Amino acid sequence: VPITPARKIWMDGDLVPWDEAKIHVLSHVVQYGTGVFEGIRCYQTPRGPAVFRLTDHLRRLFRSAVIYRTTIPYSLDELHTAIKDTIRANGLSECYIRPLAYQGYGEMGVNLFPTPAKVTIAAWPWGSYLGKDSVENGVRVKVSSWRRHDPNIVPPAAKATGQYINSALAKAEALEAGYEEAVMLSPLGHIADGSGENLFVIRDGELLTPPESAGILLGITRDTLIRIARDHGYKVQQRNLVRSDLYTADEAFLCGTAAEVVPVRDVDGRVLGTNGRGPITKELQEAFFAAVRGESEQYAAWNELVG
């Protein structure tokens, strides 16, 4: 997906012109993938642009930093302000936001060195991650031959730049085989994540989603949908799932900040019960979009106004 440039990128306290936001090719993050990051969305709401669950995303960024022994030289509150400043400086209302704390230029070798990370924040308009029609029509999914990395190899609970070469392999395989997205199994063979999404299965009116121990990223969108589904009276279980649970689902959907909520139309050529978007998926999608767009009083605390 080509990037739509915006005007300014926040780099260690300065808002620099988009085309000048550069780092050295020998930076540690370029050579070894040593950066922790977030993907966040801002939506237009009746009270103005609001970043969805910004504080929760920043909490996860700091948890990723703990895992990777990364010192972020700013507080959560400072980054909260910097993100809002970046959105305002770019004149954006609806956008995707990408904060990154990375190991910069200075040392070579695979150590996670103790010098403070460099921090950058970009924001730009980004449409549907899985294609324009994916939210309505759903996507075709392939169970990948690439396993998701194990918690004792590369911890999936952290969101680090280098980890995504695993997702990239799975995504490429799925696209080459004519599918739109990959679902990866854990090393033990349980369903884990899509290349950039969490997954839910719906069977007999109940929602099932893999637990943290299956090696998923603990998605903010996943958490949002668990809450919304329970508020709508559905039972939600976090438990291990195998690929046949996916093949025999009544409905399934992928969810993530970039993808939002996308129905799964078929898995490995097996068309799911509803051939497109199922009724429960649609109900939860509508509640999700109402929440992110600030149309639900009940979830208003999740809309963090840019101001």
Q: By the criterion CB under 6 A, which residues form the site for ligand PPE?
A: 39, 167, 193, 196-198, 217, 219-222, 256-259
**Rounded least distance, CB 52 to ligand PPE, Å:** 10
Q: Are 303 and 52 in contact (CB under 8 A)?
A: yes
Nearer to ligand PPE, 119 or 226 (CB): 226
- CA dihedral (209, 210, 216, 218) in degrees, to 10, reads 50
Nearer to ligand PPE, 14 or 152 (CB): 152
- What are the CA-CA distances from residue 161 to residues 35, 89, 180, 205 (Å)? 5, 26, 22, 37
**Rounded least distance, CB 259 to ligand PPE, Å:** 6
Nearer to ligand PPE, 144 or 198 (CB): 198
**Number of helices followed by number of strands (H, E) in the chain:** 8, 17
**Residue 15 parent element (H or E):** strand 14-17
Within a 10 A sphere around the Cβ of 155, how many other Cβ atoms? 16
d(CA 212, CA 33): 23
Q: Are 105 and 113 in contact (CB under 8 A)?
A: no
Beta-strand relationship, 181-185 and 139-143: parallel
**Rounded least distance, CB 257 to ligand PPE, Å:** 3
Burial class of residue 12 (count of CB atoms within 10 Å of its CB; 0-12, 13-18, 19+): middle
Residues 6 or more apart whose CB falls under 8 angstroms from that of 248 comprise 203
Find tokens 């103790």 and name the residue.
114
**Rounded least distance, CB 107 to ligand PPE, Å:** 27
Q: Which residue number places its CB atom closest to ligand PPE?
A: 39
Q: Which residues are catalytic?
A: 159
